Structure 1
Amino acid sequence: MAVSTLDARTALVLIDLQNGVMSAPTTPYTGSEVVVRAAELAGAFRAHGAPVVLVRVSIAADGADATPGRTESPGRAGGRPEGWDVIVDDLGGHPGDITVTKRNWGAFYGTDLDLQLRRRGVTQIVLGGVATSIGVESTARAAYEHGYHVTLATDAMTDLNPDAHRNSVEWIFPRLGESGTTAEIIELLAKTRP
């Protein structure tokens, strides 16, 4: 379903647009393309007086606060360069924005994201970021489970794997909400009363 409406209390939530993530090779969009579109969305939301939430993933150098559990993928605790978890310059530095630090794939579990949104009366979130099938999808699933209306800015997200991105966009996201382009979302935002 194409994006049809935005609630009066809609927030933009951008996932993992930070220095250490943006250097990874992504598809179908480069990290730079996603940041440009995310910055357009953020600028429109700020101008509209709507909340902008910048979510970053961060883990202590010793890995003590990393998500536990056995996986078949090698862990990545520790060994990250200084500043890898800093929000990219094109998005950071706006005093009214909300920054949420997560330790998991999704932005809800173990954070104050839900509290921050509910205090502001938010009923809908627009999501973008990296990676589509990991942080964005995990956050979209949790937002849906928390009762938010979910909109996915599909040209403001990208993935490490083209098949994973396509699966999220074509199969998972239609079950969780509506999808649209950055331009479509900004156009709807302009028609929404704050």
Structure 2
Amino acid sequence: MSALQLDFNKTALVIIDLQKGIVQMPGGKEVVEKTIPLVKLFRENDGFISFVNVAFHDGKDALQPVTDAPAPSGERTADWAEFVPELGVQPEDYTVTKRQWGAFFGTDLDLQLRRRGIETIVLCGIATNIGVESTAREAFQLGYNQIFVTDAMTTFSQEAHDASCSFIFPRIGKVRTLEQFLSDVR
């Protein structure tokens, strides 16, 4: 495992779906706790932070393919898409609202990263094998270097989390725990 050489002028922290309606899932609170030091590190180094949430205008803008395993449905509270307050989203942070799994498709995230000269993204959030992995695959196709902080992610099963972290992420970026990441960059 090679050491990380981060230039905070060329690196962005991209946080996927740490919003009130999603962090309620098992493991969500722990992901928020692991993400807080990342936010702090990027703030201390004037790094670019993008908070990504998923929300829908009227529900008709949500993907609705015919599948064998439909997405969970149900009532969403009025604050469902709001970022959790523990992360302390600031006015200078860049927020992205997506309407599908990945944070790049149909948003201006790529444009905003490129305008700032970002070459590397650090990814964390929920769900490992859905929002995070979809964003990671898009970022890979767009040519970004990536670092995955795997214990600042969770999903609906350990098996699904491990599959992304063991078989997908190492092929498209560098995989680290929070402790490994922090010791590499400090």
**Match 1:41 to one of 34, 38, 41:** 38
Q: Is 2:185 the counterpart of 1:189?
A: yes
User: How far has the Cα of 1:121 moved from its partner?
Assistant: 0.5
Q: Percent identity?
A: 48
Count of aligned positions: 185
Q: How far apart in 2 are the matches of 1:115 and 1:189?
A: 26
Q: How far apart in 1 are the matches of 2:124 and 2:96?
A: 15
Q: Are 2:4 and 2:185, in contact at CA under 8 Å, matched by a contact in 1?
A: no
Q: Is 2:11 the counterpart of 1:18?
A: no
User: How far has the Cα of 1:149 moved from its partner?
Assistant: 0.2
Task: Give the partner amino acid of 2:11.
Answer: T
Cα gap change, 1:168 to 1:182, in 2 (>3 Å): same
**Match 2:29 to one of 32, 35, 44:** 32
Q: How far apart in 1 are the matches of 2:87 and 2:112?
A: 19
Q: Any unmatched runs of 5+ in structure 2?
A: none
Task: Give the partner amino acid of 1:5.
Answer: Q
Name the SS of the counterpart of 2:85 in structure 1.
coil
> CA offsets per residue over residues 154-174 of structure 1, 9 Å max, x none?
111111111110100000111
> CA offsets per residue over residues 28-58 of structure 1, 9 Å max, x none?
xx21111011111011001101101100000
> CA offsets per residue over residues 57-95 of structure 1, 9 Å max, x none?
0013x3111114222233456731110000000114312
Q: How far apart in 2 are the matches of 1:67 and 1:92?
A: 30
Q: Are 1:63 and 1:77, in contact at CA under 8 Å, matched by a contact in 2?
A: no
Q: Is 2:56 the counterpart of 1:59?
A: yes
TM-score, normalised to structure 2's length? 0.93
- 2:6 alignment counterpart: 6
Cα gap change, 1:113 to 1:43, in 2 (>3 Å): same
RMSD over aligned Cα, in angstroms?
1.7
- 1:148 alignment counterpart: 144
Q: Any unmatched runs of 5+ in structure 1?
A: none
Higher relative contact order (Cα pairs below 8 Å, separated by 6+ residues): 1
TM-score, normalised to structure 1's length? 0.89
Task: Give the partner amino acid of 2:132.
Answer: V
User: How far has the Cα of 1:183 moved from its partner?
Assistant: 2.6
Q: How far apart in 2 are the matches of 1:78 and 1:134?
A: 19
